[in-house]
Amino acid sequence: MTVPELVPAPIRLTRTDGGWSLPERLSVAVDPALSAARPLLVDLLGVRLGRELVPVAAAGASDIALRHTEELAPEHYRLRVDGSVLIESSGPDGARHALRTLQQIVGPAAFRALPIRDAPVVLPGVVVEDGPRFGHRGVLLDVARHFMPKDGVLRFIDLISAHKLNVLHLHLTDDQGWRIQIRAYPRLTEVGAWRAESQIGSSRSSRYDATPHGGFYTQDDLREIVAFARTRGVTVVPEIDMPGHSQAAMVAYPELAALPEQAATWPVWTRWGLNPHVLGTSDRVLDFYRTVLDEVLDLFDSPLICLGGDEVPVDEWTADPDSVRRAEELGMTGVEELLPWFIGRLADHLRTRGRRATAWDEVGGSRLPTDVAINSWRGYRGGIDALRDGHDVVVCPEHEVYLDHRAAPGLDEPAPVGTVHTLEDVYRFEPVTDQVAEAAAEPGAGTVLGAQAQLWSEQLDSPRRVDYAAFPRLAAFAEVVWSPREARDWPGFDRRLRGAHLDRLDAAGVEYRPLAGPHPWQRRPDVPGWPLRFDELGRLVHAEDGAG
Ligand code: ACM
């Protein structure tokens, strides 16, 4: 029997003699400290592999044991297979990672919903000792530009957890739709969750689809998503984007807008791109969002709550006498300082409720409370500055890990936008560049929490399109954020992917991008893209012909 080909690669894997044919009936001992890992154990062994599971006392002999040990760091695990399975960890997260490793060792059959034949499940003898490089291993899913029905979100959570990713950043609100039910303000979803049609292709396109689009999650849907994610070791970080990217909210409640009379005439936005409209900066607007956040905190258990703060043009604040007065009263040099101030006041509110704000890197500056974590998306620069200012940082640069951007040059990629991030590019992404490391080493600097891949959904209008954009690049990203930096090995990853991991994705029903390029039915020749590339001086240019 060969050595299992794991993705992401573990710290250490040792093949031992022998193997074990998994009996039909398994005695299972779970230490009470690890009982939160039981739902995943039952899903893997009881449902997917169809074994009868017989609970036995944690102290006794058993076929499958989850044993608690204080010896191992958070999320680390030890897995031994040799005539039984022994999993050791200091908490349920480590035990879940061990179960995910066991799932890969079993093979593709363990990625199907049910057993499909009576073939014996034979496990090789192994010892795996493993743990993550970063604590924050995230993926952003934009359910605002295109709504993803709840079952798609649950499936996506299970898939990212199988790759040992542990944060789902759920982008719940934007100009094009508001997707979270808020009891205090029902129009946010009655009005804000629906738009008349959608732009076809990039923000440059002049075509629209004449098809209404929308949807939202009820509070019970979100409770279910959060509870399911917990069983998979995934924390759902909700994002309520403000004070830009808020047209859907302003259409529902025009009084929120910096220019309310104009807002009363807007539709929920039907196009993509940078929106000029912004929220007002009055106490009434802040109070509205405090109430929204109180309901968000009721639903989500994440310590981090994202307040957005990206792409906020200030022209409407300049045109709004109240915002100008506010800036003057606060001794600001210009209305642009209202951005970190606005995010800071809501960060204060989160702090009083025991949570912490995170925001995109535009909000940095002296008016931003230091405990706000920063998502460095406009390259590494915002993250480096934020680290020096004492903020913790999640590294998520657009030109490295925006997975909605095309996976190859040329004319074949569906709706090609952004710069090319091939599978190998994503595999070679390094969150902690020398400059990031230098900034993080300065006295008083913040910490690099980890990294995050983004799936913006302007061009990803269905779970099938999300599958195509996400996989297998997300498997490469998972290895970047999980495996030791010195273990990075592109030929090795490529071999494991081709030899084992794509078979797992196939069994799970993932419509990933084939390594040779899209299947004919995955192309979108009718959809105009907006491919970008760098010239020889490193300047970003648009490749009009789509040839990249
Ligand atoms: C972003 O891509 N606007 C965060």
pTM of the model: 0.97
CA of 310 to the centre of ligand 1 (A): 6
Q: Which helix (H) or strand (E) holds 124?
A: strand 122-130
Which among 203, 403, 456 is the best mutation to test ligand 1's pocket, defined by most ligand atoms within 8 Å of the CB?
456
What is the reported pLDDT for 539?
Answer: 75
Q: Which residues of 421-437 are buried (b: 16+ CB within 10 A; e: fewer)?
A: bebebbbebebbeeebe
Which among 377, 401, 457, 532 is the best mutation to test ligand 1's pocket, defined by most ligand atoms within 8 Å of the CB?
377
Position in ligand 1 atom list of the atom nearest CA 360: 4
Instruction: Judge whether 7 lies within some domain.
Output: no
Ligand 1 atom 1 nearest Cα:
310
Ligand 1 atom 3 nearest Cα:
310
Pocket of ligand 1 (CB under 6 A): 310-311, 360, 377
Per the structure, the count of domains in the chain is 2
Instruction: Judge whether 2 lies within some domain.
Output: no
Residues 62 and 191 in one domain: no
Residues 178 and 52 in one domain: no
What is the reported pLDDT for 543?
Answer: 64
What is the reported pLDDT for 58?
Answer: 79
Ligand 1 atom 4 nearest Cα:
310
Mark which of 130, 150, 179 sits at the end of a domain: 130
CA of 398 to the centre of ligand 1 (A): 8
Position in ligand 1 atom list of the atom nearest CA 456: 2
CA of 172 to the centre of ligand 1 (A): 13
Residues 170 and 52 in one domain: no
Nearest Cα neighbor of 465 from 452, 477, 456 is 456
What is the reported pLDDT for 536?
Answer: 73
Instruction: Judge whether 357 lies within some domain.
Output: yes
Residues 16 and 159 in one domain: no
Residues 122 and 188 in one domain: no
What is the reported pLDDT for 548?
Answer: 36
Mark which of 106, 130, 154 sits at the end of a domain: 130
Can you say whether residue 312 is alpha, beta or left, with left for phi > 0 and alpha for psi between -120 and 50 degrees? beta
What is the reported pLDDT for 533?
Answer: 75
Position in ligand 1 atom list of the atom nearest CA 454: 2
Q: Answer whether residue 534 shows pLDDT above 80.
A: no
Instruction: Judge whether 331 lies within some domain.
Output: yes
Residues 517 and 471 in one domain: yes
What is the reported pLDDT for 528?
Answer: 85
Cβ neighbours of residue 81 closer than 8 Å, sequence gap 6 or more:
19, 20, 102, 105, 123, 124, 125, 126, 127
Alpha carbons 45 and 99: distance in angstroms, whole number? 9
CA of 424 to the centre of ligand 1 (A): 23
Nearest Cα neighbor of 165 from 460, 375, 499, 473 is 473
CATH number at residue 475: 3.20.20.80
Alpha carbons 363 and 188: distance in angstroms, whole number? 25
CA of 377 to the centre of ligand 1 (A): 7
Alpha carbons 539 and 542: distance in angstroms, whole number? 10
Instruction: Judge whether 1 lies within some domain.
Output: no
Position in ligand 1 atom list of the atom nearest CA 375: 4
Instruction: Judge whether 208 lies within some domain.
Output: yes
Residues 405 and 311 in one domain: yes
Mark which of 130, 156, 191 sits at the end of a domain: 130
Q: What is the pLDDT of residues 259-297, one digit of tens each?
A: 999 999 999 999 999 999 999 999 999 999 999 999 999
Average pLDDT over residues 87-95: 98
Residues 86 and 202 in one domain: no
Higher pLDDT, 400 or 539: 400
CATH number at residue 26: 3.30.379.10
Q: Which residues of 257-280 are buried (b: 16+ CB within 10 A; e: fewer)?
A: bbbeeebeebebbbbbeebebbbb
Residues 418 and 280 in one domain: yes
What is the reported pLDDT for 87?
Answer: 98
Residues 54 and 28 in one domain: yes
CA of 245 to the centre of ligand 1 (A): 10
Residues 374 and 426 in one domain: yes
What percentage of the chain reaches a pLDDT higher than 70?
99
CA of 193 to the centre of ligand 1 (A): 20
Instruction: Judge whether 548 lies within some domain.
Output: no
Position in ligand 1 atom list of the atom nearest CA 398: 2
Instruction: Judge whether 264 lies within some domain.
Output: yes
Q: What is the pLDDT of residues 448-460, one digit of tens each?
A: 999 999 999 999 9
Least confident of 195-204, 239-248, 493-502, 536-545: 536-545
At 267, list the tokens: 């539709």
Alpha carbons 226 and 165: distance in angstroms, whole number? 15
In the DSSP assignment, the letter for residue 379 is: S
Q: What is the residue range of 124's domain?
A: 12-130
CA of 311 to the centre of ligand 1 (A): 7
Alpha carbons 5 and 167: distance in angstroms, whole number? 24
Residues 88 and 176 in one domain: no
At 421, list the tokens: 């991030």
- What's the mean per-residue pLDDT of the chain? 96
